[in-house]
Amino acid sequence: MFCEKATELIRELHRASDGQLPSYNEDGIRQVLEEMKALYEQNQSDVNEAKSGHSELIPTIKFRHCSLLRNRRCVLAYLYDRLLRIRALRWEYGSVLPNAVRFQMSADEVLWFNQYKKSLATYMRSLGGGDGLDLTQDIKPPKSLYIEVRCLKDYGEFEIDDGTTILLKKNSQHFLPRWKCEQLIRQGILEHVLS
């Protein structure tokens, strides 16, 4: 049966719910594209036959054509859904992705991510009368400028506003400017402690 590989691609993403990024299925995509190529070539020659009178071929041609369209739809859905997930990473993790996530992406996806990152940065720099504005900050309305945080893992040295550095050691607790640590919280390095 045609289109089985393509459906498998969709299932793969469907199983990984919650915006997780499964590794790019290069092999699956290649197989679908090969199937599409074969369908196309067979149809080309049958279309010529049909034109010269073999109209009994028309249902078969139609069948292959449907399969082609179905394959295309699945591949596009697969690629597009992945792009949406990758775009969300920029807002959740920040501009530097952990290796574990990057290894899941194809070379083209990495390229796309870098370009998205760049155009977002350009846009954010242009805001606020040229001063720039980080749109990924303060996703929730802030209650205070400083917040209490606890370290969940050893992170190392961390420079704060006034130029001093502090050591972020596992289980140590700090009182830091909110904008400095929001991203580290989202990355799971710090934990926001509510007073």
Partner 1 sequence: MEASEVEFLAEQEPVTIIPNFSLDRIYLIGGDLGPFNPGLPVQVPLWLAINLKQRQKCRLIPPEWMDVEKLEQIREQERNEATFTPMPSPYYMEFTKLLLNYAADNIPKADEIRTLVKDTWDTRIAKLRLSADSFVRQQEAHARLDNLTLMEINTTGPFLTQALDHMYKLRTNLQPGGSAQSQDF
Partner 2 sequence: QGTKLELPLWLAKGLYNNKQKILSVELPTVYKESWRTVFSADANVVDLHKLGPYYYAFGSQMLNFDSPENAELAQTILQTFISRFRRIMDSSQNAFNEDTSALVARLDETERGLFQAGQKGLNDFQSWEMGQASQITASSLVQNYRKRKHSELDA
**Which chain residues interact with partner 1 by CB under 8 A?**
70, 73, 140-141
Q: Which residues bind partner 2 (CB under 8 A)?
A: 3, 18-20, 59, 62-63, 65-67, 69-70, 89, 92-93, 100-101, 139-141, 143, 147, 182, 185-188, 191-192, 194
Q: How far is the CB of 157 from partner 1 (least distance, A)?
A: 32
What's the closest the beta carbon of residue 183 comes to partner 2, in angstroms? 10
Q: Which does 87 bind (CB under 5 to 8 A by kind): partner 2, partner 1, none?
A: none
Residue 14 or 140: the one with the smaller Cβ distance to partner 1 is 140
User: Which of partner 1, partner 2, none sits in contact with 107, Cβ below 5 to 8 A by type?
Assistant: none
164, 132 in Cβ contact below 8 A? no
Q: Are 127 and 133 in contact (CB under 8 A)?
A: yes
Q: CA 75, 80, 86, 88 torsion: positive or negative?
A: negative
CA dist 153 and 189 (Å) reads: 6
From the CB of 128, what's the least distance to partner 2, in Å?
22
DSSP 121-155: HHHHHHTTTTT---TTS-SS--S-SEEEEEESS--
Contact between 194 and 178 (Cβ < 8 Å): no
Nearer to partner 2, 70 or 117 (CB): 70
Q: Which is nearer to partner 2, 88 or 126 (CB)?
A: 88
Angstrom distance (rounded) from CA 146 to CA 180: 9
